[in-house]
Amino acid sequence: MKINTAEYLISSAKVEQCPKAGYPEYAFIGRSNVGKSSLINMLADNAKLAKTSSMPGKTVLINHFLINRPIEGKQHNAADAPWYLVDLPGYGYAKRSKKAQEEFEHMISSYILEREQMTLLFILIDVRLEPQKIDLDFIEWLGENGVPFAIVFTKADKVSKGRLGGNVQHYLKVLSQQWEELPPYFVTSSETGKGREELLQYIGEINISIANQEE
């Protein structure tokens, strides 16, 4: 799938403030600094779209980006129909106060549980690290709440090819202790563009199946 246009729309502190259109929506979540905003920029092929930072805690609101702005009067085929990308604040940033941490958790969980347009949540995992309890707990919480999700391993450029495969397999093995069926997963690098085609194709296929259901 190709992206025609990508633009920033709005930042919301609450799920009620999010855009009203019912376009398919794909959100990105994960620990602070895992590379959510960078991945969105890589997908949209625009390094300036979402704000990134080497300091954790950069994204503090629910940020909506519109892909493939609708053109008035034009009939869209499913392949270039509009959809949203959503950049969420990271969880588990230790330097926030307890109160701020709770507010972030509330913002994130109410978005995930209440946002009807949210088609799928991508949970980002730094491929360099051993499986972290905070991510495994979060994935378990998604399962308990029936939230559709896929896993995106990030920063693939930072490990050797050998370690990359080993780390991914290790992660999947740990997940299989929790899950009978493993979620879809992608291995990406925002530096090299690795995984871009696969992710866009996956999103495109879901968009097409949604469009077909609506017909």
Residue numbers of the site for Mg ion (CB under 5 A)? 36-37, 58-59
Q: Determine the 3-state secondary structure of 78 from DSSP.
A: helix
Q: How many residues bind ligand GTP (CB under 6 A)?
A: 23
CB of 208 to ligand GTP, least distance (A): 28
The residue at minimum Cβ distance from ligand GTP is: 90
Which positions ≥6 away from 58 have C-beta within 8 Å? 32, 37, 51, 52
Q: Which of 6, 27, 34, 66 binds ligand GTP (CB under 6 A)?
A: 34
Nearest by Cα to 44 from 58, 24, 26: 26
Site for ligand GTP in 179-208 (CB under 6 A): 189-191
Token pair, residue 205, equals 């296929």
Which positions ≥6 away from 29 have C-beta within 8 Å? 36, 88, 90, 91, 108, 112, 121, 122, 123, 124, 138
Q: Determine the 3-state secondary structure of 191 from DSSP.
A: coil
Nearer residue to Mg ion within complex by CB, 39 or 118: 39
Stretch that binds ligand GTP, among 13-21, 28-36, 131-139, 170-178 (CB under 6 A): 28-36
85: which DSSP letter? E
In terms of DSSP H, where are the helices of 115-195? 133-144, 161-176
Q: Which of 24, 89, 92, 204 binds ligand GTP (CB under 6 A)?
A: 89
Site for ligand GTP in 125-164 (CB under 6 A): 154-155, 157-158
Binding site for ligand GTP (CB under 6 A): 32-38, 52-54, 56-59, 89-90, 154-155, 157-158, 189-191
